[in-house]
Each structure stands twice: as structure tokens, then as C-alpha cells.
């Protein structure tokens, strides 16, 4: 802990970024130092206006140089799920080298999983800036890696770890996310043409989680197998983000298996549905985690396991700020840091 508030920058102001700004403004031990935006319409707006809060005096900029020049302790790096989560690692390295710890909400859960080159670049930037980089999230960053490792404490002689995530996007408002990135509503041919870029992003995130779990369990992996599938809509239907026509892609399943000794030892299954009520295949929305050992442990949830997943993702990053800022310079995964906890609301015990 420091005697002064942690000065925090919010990088990107999508739904998660706006939730993070609100979280910074609510904590007396944090101070908002700056905001970076991508949308030209947001340039110059007050951070409070962007987040639905009173004015803060902090105006949004689209110039990374403005952020690099700030006096700040930490950057909540949340540029969104487009394409390769690590595609702008040069910016992350620049922030680290400029003396700003980075907590990413998409990727960087375990950068060493991608080989020595990226890890060396990040470590060098951290050394020059005296900073740390840490990846958080909900999945990856919690349900697909932190939770399985936590449950593994109750088992011995572990044989296999299985994580299932099934998400229903019927209420998601973003057409870019649902139709462009996930490919829902596209013809079968169009979906298969664009699957390569989606496959790369999905593999990047799953690889980090698989290697983090393997490292925590003391496993040496031989490689990662990928299996994919999809379902087409039997009839046209409407969801919050638009129309899924008859014959358009309405669901997808991705299975990533970490192999050791010629068999799968860790499996992550991710299922995305345009509308779970219209696509019953592959089970109901929610999470399931199973550690097959002695004893075996199973934890399952329905889709309402968290009241707001976006807010939860922002909170996971915000709660990590003091721990990451206090850490030794370098890549810092869940395995490298002490436990990270939330904080009581200021209303608790105050009568407010």
C-alpha cells in the first residue's frame, strides 16, 4: 500500500472500460489519472461523462503519447476483443518502459505460453520501467485457469482438468461482437472463410490458460489440440444485436486440449450460442469445472452465476492494482502474486 492514492489510467472505454472508470472513482485509494479512447466522438469528453458520473476534470485523449507522458502508477489496458489479443504488444511494452504497470483485461494471463520472444520483450520493458504486467479477466483469467487451480488444492493424483463455458449472446447488444467477431448470422461459407482469424484469437487465449494450469500442476505439455464445430439456424430469429437468418451460423463450439504423454490432461470447451433457446445442442449456458482426481471435484453454475460479467471483469482488474504495483518488475501471473481480494463498499458500516 502507498500513502497516496494509486494513479490509474483507463485505456479504452468500451463497456468494461467504463465500468473500470466507475470503479476507480468509487475507491478513495485510487485516483483517475487519464483516459484513452479510440472513438473520435469521445475525444475531449470528460471521463465522468463517459462513465455516467459527474465531471472529473479528466478529459479523454486518443493520443498514446499523452498517456505515456502522464504521472501514473498503473494502466488498465482494455482495448477490446478484436483480433489478436497480443497484436499491440508494442504499446504494452511502451507503457511498461515508461514506468506504468499494466493490467490487461484481454490476454497476457500467461505470456510465456507464446514462447521466449514475447516474454523477453515484456521482461525487458518491465526492467527498463521498473514495472510489472499482469493479465486478468473472467475467462480467460478466472474461470478457465484460476478456479481450476484453486479447486485442485482439494485433490491428489489429478488425472484430468475440464473447464466448460457456454455463453448465450441473445441479449448482447453489440453487432460487431456477435455478428462480426463470433460470426453469428453468416452463411456457412462466409463463416468458414473468416474462421482463421477467430481461430487465432481463441487459440491465443486458451493457450495461456492451458499453460498456466499446467504450470500450476507441474505438468510438461506436448502440445495443444483444437477441435471446432458449429450449428446453423433452422429458422430465422431475432436477437438483441440483429437477425440470424435461416441457415446462418447460430452456435459454435471450440475444444482445446492440452496433451501430455499422448493424452489430454487439461481441456477447455467454449460454446457460444446466438440464442440458447433456439440451439439446444451442447447443453445449457453456464460454467462447469471438473478436477478428476482423488477425490474428484465438480463446480457448476448456471448463466446467472454473476449478475454482471462486464462489471466483474473490470473489478478483477481494479482489485489487482495494489498487488501488481507492489510486485517485483516483470511478467506476473496468478502464480507469481499473492492472493487478490475485493474491498468493502464505502457504504458498509457507514450507514450510507
* Partner residues linked to 284 by β-bridges: none
CA distances from 305 to 138, 189, 251, 297 (A): 12, 35, 21, 18
The model carries a pTM of 0.92
The pLDDT of residue 347 is 59
Q: At what angle do helices 309-319 and 15-26 cross, to 10 degrees?
A: 50
Continuous H helices in the chain: 15-26, 47-51, 64-68, 89-97, 116-129, 146-151, 175, 188-217, 309-319, 321-326
C-alpha–C-alpha distance, residues 260 and 223, integer Å: 7
Interatomic CA distance for residues 48 and 21, integer angstroms? 8
> 302 exposed, middle or buried (CB, 10 Å; 0-12, 13-18, 19+)?
exposed
Cell numbers found for residue 9: 489510467
Residues paired with residue 227 on neighbouring β-strands, in sequence order: 255
SS3 151: helix
Alpha-carbon span 109 to 268, nearest angstrom: 15
Contact 248, 233 (CB under 8 A): yes
Cβ pair 19, 85 in contact under 8 A:
no
Cis peptide before 295 (omega within 30 of 0): yes
Per-residue confidence of the chain (352 residues) as pLDDT tens digits? 557 999 999 999 998 999 999 999 999 999 999 999 999 999 999 999 999 999 999 999 999 999 999 999 999 999 876 667 888 999 999 999 999 999 999 999 999 999 999 999 999 999 999 999 999 999 889 999 999 999 999 999 999 999 999 999 999 888 888 998 899 999 999 999 888 777 888 888 899 999 999 999 999 999 999 999 999 999 999 999 999 999 999 999 999 999 999 999 999 999 999 999 999 999 999 999 999 999 999 999 998 899 988 899 999 999 999 999 999 999 999 999 999 999 887 755 544 4
Amino acid at each position: 500500500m502507498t500513502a497516496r492514492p494509486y494513479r490509474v489510467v483507463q485505456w479504452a472505454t468500451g463497456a468494461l472500460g467504463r465500468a473500470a472508470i466507475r470503479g476507480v472513482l468509487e475507491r478513495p485509494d485510487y485516483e483517475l489519472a487519464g483516459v484513452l479512447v479510440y472513438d473520435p466522438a469521445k475525444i475531449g469528453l470528460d471521463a465522468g461523462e463517459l462513465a455516467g458520473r459527474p465531471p472529473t476534470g479528466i478529459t479523454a485523449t486518443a493520443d498514446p503519447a499523452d498517456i505515456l507522458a502522464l504521472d501514473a502508477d498503473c494502466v488498465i489496458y482494455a482495448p477490446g476483443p478484436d483480433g489478436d489479443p497480443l497484436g499491440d504488444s508494442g504499446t504494452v511494452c511502451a507503457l511498461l518502459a515508461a514506468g506504468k504497470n499494466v493490467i490487461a483485461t484481454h490476454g497476457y494471463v500467461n505470456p510465456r505460453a507464446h514462447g521466449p520472444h514475447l516474454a523477453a520483450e515484456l521482461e525487458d520493458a518491465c526492467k527498463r520501467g521498473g514495472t510489472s504486467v499482469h493479465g486478468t479477466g473472467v475467462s480467460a483469467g478466472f474461470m478457465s485457469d484460476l478456479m481450476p487451480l484453486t479447486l485442485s488444492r482439494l485433490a491428489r493424483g489429478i488425472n484430468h482438468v475440464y473447464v466448460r463455458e457456454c455463453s448465450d449472446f441473445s441479449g448482447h447488444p453489440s453487432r460487431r461482437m456477435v455478428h462480426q467477431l463470433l460470426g453469428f448470422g453468416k452463411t456457412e461459407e462466409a463463416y468458414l472463410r473468416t474462421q482463421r482469424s477467430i481461430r487465432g484469437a481463441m487459440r491465443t487465449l486458451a493457450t495461456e490458460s492451458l499453460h498456466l494450469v499446467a504450470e500450476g500442476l507441474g505438468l510438461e505439455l506436448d502440445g495443444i489440440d483444437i477441435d471446432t464445430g458449429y450449428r446453423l439456424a433452422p429458422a430465422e430469429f431475432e436477437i438483441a444485436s440483429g437477425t440470424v437468418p435461416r441457415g446462418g451460423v447460430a452456435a459454435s463450439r471450440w475444444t482445446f486440449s492440452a496433451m501430455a504423454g499422448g493424452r489430454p490432461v487439461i481441456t477447455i470447451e467454449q460454446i457460444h450460442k446466438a440464442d440458447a433457446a433456439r440451439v439446444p445442442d451442447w447443453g445449457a449456458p453456464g460454467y462447469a469445472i471438473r478436477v478428476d482426481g482423488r477425490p474428484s471435484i465438480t463446480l457448476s453454475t448456471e448463466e446467472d452465476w454473476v449478475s454482471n460479467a462486464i462489471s466483474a471483469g473490470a473489478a478483477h482488474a481494479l482489485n489487482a492494482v495494489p498487488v501488481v504495483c507492489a510486485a517485483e518488475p516483470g511478467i506476473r501471473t496468478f502464480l507469481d502474486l499473492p492472493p487478490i481480494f475485493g474491498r468493502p463498499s464505502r457504504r458498509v458500516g457507514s450507514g450510507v
